[in-house]
């Protein structure tokens, strides 16, 4: 079994909203500015944070999750990154011990030292107690130290440092500042391409980090190649053309899903439901999630695209529509202001944006083809969709998860699927009509 060495850190926190992404991105940008090759991963199902981390590091940022991906794939991703990287950074999700498996489980499994971010605008010496609890809650966890964030003054920083147990380093203290905040919206941080001076913002954070203990590289760790990998010698999606919606409204796409389709031989064609007036000549369509609610007028007025999608649906060809993609293929979507816009209308159903709440969490899609792991994260509700064929399966909670609908060749739900979690199921889904169409074309040509 091959092995390589590379320094690595796991950036976690005591809860969400502590500044993990900002600090991880700033740290990646700082070391990149020093000429290092930095690879960054995000724990859990997240589309937005990886975009920011990728912008900061100048290299691909992807998911790393024990439940969604499995141990072997996580190990292989880390090994492949370590072969070329000078530093690996992994951003956690929520709090250090939240979830099953948690960020702590991932860090301990691979022996990666943890740095915990504690936002402390309204506490001082209590930070020491919180740090002690995070470290001692699981003594076997490699714990590198803490970062105190959003402090009010130099004296505030001194009080936090004085409160710390001697065996817990304070790697950095950051004063509350607009320079240490990245812009947000209802589902998370704003995507980098939406802001002109995003790189300037990242460089500013990197300059602040340069003056802290985070500027020093951690000790190198050993990363091993996994002993078992899914074989891609056969290409069951060869001759299958898959159209993928990708534009300002639809962008929640795991890079691993794209690699999965390509590695199995699929021919990918991207199109824009916002700007294009027709669908490429394809056998299947994947409508991923995104922010259709931010672009309703353009989507609604593109009648040519809506007609093309209805025709594709009526032909019985395979369509996978996830979350925002599902909202788009229903009859209408209503904004928080009560404005209702007609959508593509492939199936019955009406979407409504919600000011708060919604659903998030890991679930498996219980498809007829097999169980595919994924997650839900939305701030909307959908009504009058008909009878579901199945429901998502939560990791531990017994309540049914998201409803899954199937009409003709269309499969749709709020769930975002991680294709590599079940190779055979996803191949069967995309070849249900696609392979038959491709074979028919070959026969007609012959």
Catalytic positions, please?
Answer: 323
Q: Name, in order, each residue with C-beta under 8 angstroms of 265's C-beta and a sequence gap of 6 or more.
A: 235, 236, 237, 238, 239, 240
Q: What is the radius of gyration, based on Cα positions, of the chain?
A: 23
Alpha-carbon gap, residue 128 to 162, rounded angstroms: 8
3-class secondary-structure state, position 377: strand
Contact 28, 158 (CB under 8 A): no
- DSSP letter string over 37-81? -EEEEEESS-SHHHHHHHHHHTS-EEEE-HHHH-HHHHHHHHHHH
258 token code pair: 């794209």
Measured between alpha carbons, how far is residue 248 from residues 58, 60, 193, 352, 355 in Å? 21, 20, 10, 20, 21
Structure tokens at 441: 């074309």
Measure the CA angle with vertex 141, ends 136 and 142; round to 5°.
110
309 within 8 A of 300, measured Cβ to Cβ: no
What is the number of other CB atoms lying within 10 angstroms of the CB of residue 433? 19
The Cα–Cα gap between 135 and 132 comes to 5
- Determine whether 175 is exposed, middle or buried from the number of CB atoms within 10 Å of its CB (0-12, 13-18, 19+): middle
Distance CA 262, CA 267 (A): 7
CA 158, 159, 160, 164 torsion-angle sign: positive
Q: How far apart are CA 52 and CA 192, in angstroms?
A: 6
Nearest to 91 by CA among 22, 38, 36: 22
SS3 state of residue 408: coil
Ramachandran angles phi, psi of 375, nearest 5°: -160, 165
The answer to whether residues 330 and 354 touch, using CB atoms and an 8 Å cutoff, is no
Measured between alpha carbons, how far is 230 from 427 in angstroms, rounded to an integer? 13
């Amino acid at each position: 079994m091959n092995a390589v060495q590379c320094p690595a850190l796991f950036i976690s926190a005591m809860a969400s909203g502590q500044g993990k992404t900002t600090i991880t991105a700033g740290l990646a940008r700082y070391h990149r500015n020093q000429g290092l090759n930095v690879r960054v991963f995000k724990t859990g199902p997240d589309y937005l944070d990886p975009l920011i981390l990728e912008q900061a590091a100048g290299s691909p940022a992807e998911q790393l999750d024990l439940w969604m991906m499995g141990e072997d794939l996580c190990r292989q991703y880390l090994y492949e990154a370590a072969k070329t990287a000078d530093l690996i950074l992994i951003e956690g999700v929520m709090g250090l011990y939240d979830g099953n498996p948690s960020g702590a489980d991932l860090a301990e499994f691979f022996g990666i030292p943890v740095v915990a971010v504690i936002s402390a605008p309204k506490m001082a010496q209590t930070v020491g107690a919180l740090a002690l609890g995070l470290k001692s809650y699981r003594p076997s966890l490699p714990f590198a130290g803490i970062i105190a964030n959003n402090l009010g003054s130099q004296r505030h920083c001194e009080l936090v440092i004085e409160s710390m147990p001697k065996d817990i380093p304070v790697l950095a203290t950051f004063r509350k500042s607009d320079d240490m905040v990245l812009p947000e919206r209802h589902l998370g941080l704003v995507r980098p391409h939406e802001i002109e001076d995003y790189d300037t913002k990242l460089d500013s954070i990197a300059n602040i980090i340069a003056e802290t203990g985070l500027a020093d590289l951690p000790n190198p760790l050993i990363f091993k190649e996994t002993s078992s990998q899914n074989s891609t010698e056969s290409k069951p999606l060869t001759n299958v053309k898959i159209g993928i919606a990708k534009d300002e409204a639809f962008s929640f796409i795991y890079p691993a899903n794209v690699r999965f389709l390509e590695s199995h031989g699929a021919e990918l064609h991207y199109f824009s439901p916002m700007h294009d007036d027709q669908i490429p000549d394809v056998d299947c369509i994947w409508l991923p999630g995104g922010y259709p609610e931010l672009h309703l007028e353009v989507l609604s007025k593109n009648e040519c695209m809506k007609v093309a999608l209805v025709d594709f649906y009526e032909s019985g060809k395979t369509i996978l529509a996830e979350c925002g993609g599902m909202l788009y293929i229903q009859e209408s979507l209503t904004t928080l202001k009560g404005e209702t816009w007609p959508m593509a209308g492939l199936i019955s159903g009406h979407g409504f944006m919600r000011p708060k709440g919604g659903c998030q969490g890991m679930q498996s899609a219980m498809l007829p083809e097999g169980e595919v792991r994924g997650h839900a994260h939305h701030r909307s509700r959908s009504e009058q969709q008909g009878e579901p064929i199945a429901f998502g399966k939560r990791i531990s909670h017994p309540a049914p998860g998201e409803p899954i609908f199937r009409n003709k060749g269309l499969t749709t739900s709020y769930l975002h699927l991680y294709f590599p979690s079940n190779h055979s199921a996803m191949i069967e889904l995309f070849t249900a009509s696609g392979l038959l169409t491709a074979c028919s074309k070959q026969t007609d040509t012959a």
